[in-house]
Structures are given as C-alpha cells and as structure tokens.
Amino acid sequence: MLLLDGHKKPSIGSFHHAGSFDYQIKQEVVKGLTLEVCHEGKLTKDLEDSLAKSVAALEAAGASVICGSSGSMLFFQPFVRQKTKLPVILSAMAMLPSVSCSYSADEKVAIFYAGSNVPESLLKEEYRVDLKDSHYHFERCDDLPGFKEVAAGSDDATQLESLKTGLLARAHKVLEDNPKVRAFVLENTELPRFAHALRKATFRPVFDAIKLCDFYINSHMDNPRFGLKDWDDARKGTSPAFNFGQTLSMGVGELESFAKPVLDLVKVPDLAMQVYEGSKQHAVSMWYRSHRAGVKLGVIRLDYHYPPAPGDVDHPGSYGYEVLYHMVSGLTFEMCQSGKLTPEVQDRFLKGLKELEAKGASVITGDCGFMMWLQELARKNTKLPVIMSSLATLPAITASYHRDEKIAIFTANGKSLLTMKDLIMKECGVDVKDERYIFVGCEEVPGFEAVAAGEKVDVKKVTPGIVKKAQEILSANPKVRSILMECTELPPYSDAVRHVCGVPVFDAITACDFYIACHVDSPKMKV
C-alpha cells in the first residue's frame, strides 16, 4: 500500500489501517506526495523518483498487489503501472465497469466520492467509465458532518457516528431520488468502515476498496475448499487453521459433504484439531458471515447430468457460502453456445430466475461461460446482480495492468468464444480484439473433451495438460501478467496453474466470491 506523506496514525477501521485486512499489508510512505499534490494530478521529477522508489520497496517486500491509501492517487495510476509488473489498483473506480455490467441498462450504481476534481478523461481512458453514462449516479460525501475530522485521522466516536448517520441519510436520499439504484460503490477510502451499516440500511450490495483488494489477493491464493496446497498441508499436519473455522457453523451432514475431498487424506482427529485451532477465527468465517446475512448464490444450470469436480461451479463445495441451483430443462450446451433459446426454454429460464429469487439468492450466475448470451435477458428480469460469465470481471482485471501487458483468457473452446466478441464488447465494454488479450482454447487438452460431451471430467488426467498449456503461453508471451479462466469447469485447475506458473489466476469462483463478498461485512472491521 502506497501511503500519502503526512498521513496521521490510522484509526481502527480505516482503509490504511493494517488491521482492516485479512492478510498481511506492507506499507510505504511516498515522501512529498500529499493529498494536495494528488488533487493537482501532477508529479515533479523528485516526486516521480520518490513514487518509483516506494513502488520498488513494496516489490522488494514481497507485495503481490499495489494499492493506494487515497482514491485521489488515481491520477498516478498510469505512472505506477509502468514501474511494476504487479497489478495496480489506486482507486476503487477500477471495479465500476464490472459492477455496472451486472445490472440492466436502465438500472443504476451510486458512487460516493470526495473532492470536486473528478478526472473525467482519465476515468474514461483508464477504466472505461463515462461520467455521463446514465448507469452511474455520482454523489459527493466530503461535505458530510464529521468527514473532515475522520479523514484527518480522528477516531472520536462522536465524529464517526455523525459521519455514519450522515452517510446513511445521504444514501436514503439517493434511493428516494433514484429508485433504480441497485448497488453502492464507496470510492473514498474513509468509507469502507461504514459499508456494512450501509448494506443493512439500504438492502443493497456495497462495493469498496477493501473488497477490491480482496478480489486481487484471492487470485494469488490457493482455494481452501479444493486447492492443492491447503489440502497437502492438512495431510502433512502443517496447517493450523481449517478455513477460518468455517466448519463450526455446519451440521454433521454438511461437514461430511464439505470435507469429502479430503476425508480420504486426513485422519478424523487431525481434521478435528484443525477445526478446534480455527475456532478463534470463527468470527471471520465467510460461511458464518454469509449465513448470518442470509446471502446465497443462485446458479442457473444447463440440462446436463454429470458429477461435478470440486472447484466446478456446479459443485456446492467450491464455495464458502450457501448455493442454490436450478436446472433449466431443455437448456443444452449447444443452445447456450448459439445464444438462441426456444420460447419454451426461455420461459423455463425466466421461471428459474424467479425461483432462485424466491429462495433468497443474492447474486445470479450460470454454470456455462456461454451463458453470457443470456446475460441481458437475465438482467432484464431480475433486480439482482447477474454475472453469467467470469468475463464480467475482465474490465477490473484489465485496469490494473499497463497497456502493453497481456491477459491470457482460458476457455473451453477458443474459436467459439471469439464469435462472442461483439456481445462481450456490449456487455463488458471489453474489446477482445485488443492485442492485450490472448485467447487459449482448452478443447485439445487430453481429457478435457468431456466438457463438451457433458461427461465427468477426470481432473487428475486433465491437470497436467492445463498446466503445460499455461506454461507454453507464458513462455511464448512473456508480457502475460495474469490468467482468467473463463470456462466454469476450469477453476479446479486454477491452483495448480498458480503454483507452477506464479501468476494470479482469476476464475468463476473468484468472480462469485467478489460479488457475494459485497453483500457481507468485512471480517476484520468489527473484530
């Protein structure tokens, strides 16, 4: 994390307080870089040297992602990206296109920001955000009572309560004037501490800088529910915590289902000891927090019957929260690939959406990346956020890298995905013909042909082929900085690719985790 020069000691709950995150934070003060300099948006040669030195220091300290303590650092995003190969996210605005594409064209996203100088041209160039887009409602918050004092480092309870009260009142006014606002984005880094109060008061998902950082960090991490490293550590008895005490909120039946992938590897006493050791972190369990908030993922399924592997979107053990499934009778892979539904199947599809809503789903996704063809249809018929493909997160991923750096997109069939180029541009605002994207078809990987056939995939057989393909792509394209697994049956291989190739890997699970996380409280904010 790049810190402004002159930042006072952070108060508990603030974005630049290390205790606000669920992972290690390295911080580096950029000497001479003040809030006033950020607002001017200009760097002197001395400031450029200072900023470059701080970036190098973070890299040397082992940082995986670089963020900034103030959204006003957005002005210097292009400069910082040139100084590092790491993903750079200096403003929560980076996620705005990915948030807005989950809602229909007539729905809105409200953005709370501070400062009068909004860099319109820079936002359009960096994040493809057009301030004139009717999708967005921008609302200043630095005039709220208590804001200046809290921004200056005050942790006075009266000032914090005053700011929270004013923020909630402002949000209710926004909803009153704009009833089609479906989500809030807290651009200002002083506001994440109030995100959960805003969720409870408005019944809307709230996206903020901490959730965005979590999204990028998760792309570097082994998935604890089906990953390679965590299960291996557990088998060897070297892992002290079992997914932050997640299993403590489960009944016996749920625990057996959840732990099935490792029951053959881990002795029951060892598993029990991990649960016991992890109990002190029960309060930060994603399962516990999502269950407490009543948050669930809704998945529209193809009319396919196959045993999904752990990590597959169709496997409930792939997630750290409750999942609801609805299979649409007659919705085949071929029909989904063509994007054309018969009237009967469309009717069943829409009924499926309503059923998932009625059961309490908070986010809607699909179990096939080609359901991107159905994104608009789904969005028009629900008020919930819809992410029918992990491609919805591509704008946010792209924004964190320099223009001459590349992202490899792995798909079940590369040629079929390219036929969706106009649709992807329309839905996600991403031009897949841009040279920064490399599409990688996995149809020829030994064993992966089972996906197109709708049969069980042998993960052990397929893993070496997927890893080899990733290695070949990185070798042939040294400027590839990250990988996006577009196909919903590719997440089982994400961990292997992360460990062997050493690059961040995004997939359908990290995408769902991101949208679900914005419905629940941040784990460390109240602990």
List phi, psi (to 5°) of 480.
Answer: -70, 125
- Provide the β-strand partners of residue 181: 108
Calculate the alpha carbon distances from 398 to 97, 118, 156, 216, 409 in Å.
11, 21, 39, 12, 12
CA distance 23 to 46: 32
DSSP 16: T
Concerning whether 368 is annotated as a catalytic residue, the answer is yes
Measured over the CA atoms of residue 16, residue 480, residue 413 and residue 227, the dihedral's sign is negative
Concerning whether 501 is annotated as a catalytic residue, the answer is no
The helix/strand/coil state of 275 is helix
DSSP 441: E
Give residue 508's identity as a one-letter amino acid code: A
Instruction: Tell me the chain's radius of gyration from C-alpha atoms.
Output: 22
Nearest Cα residue to 437 out of 478, 479, 401, 408:
408
Nearest Cα residue to 232 out of 509, 495, 501:
495
- In the block, tokens 């914090």 appear at 160
Q: Where are the alpha helices (DSSP H) in 68-208?
A: 77-82, 96-100, 120-127, 147-151, 157-177, 195-202
CA distance 321 to 281: 16
Nearest Cα residue to 336 out of 393, 381, 389, 383:
389
Which long-range contacts does 467-473 make (Cβ < 8 Å, 24+ apart)? 467/493, 467/496, 467/497, 467/500, 467/501, 469/410, 469/440, 469/442, 469/445, 470/408, 470/410, 470/497, 470/500, 470/501, 471/500, 471/501, 473/408, 473/438, 473/440
> Between vectors from CA 311 to CA 469 and to CA 285, what angle results, nearest 5°?
130
H or E, element range at 459: helix 459-476
Per annotation, catalytic residue among 487, 501, 512, 518: 487
Per annotation, catalytic residue among 368, 428, 512, 518: 368
Nearest Cα residue to 351 out of 315, 300, 316, 387:
300
CA distance 63 to 79: 18
CB 215 within 8 A of CB 510: yes
Active site residues: 368, 487
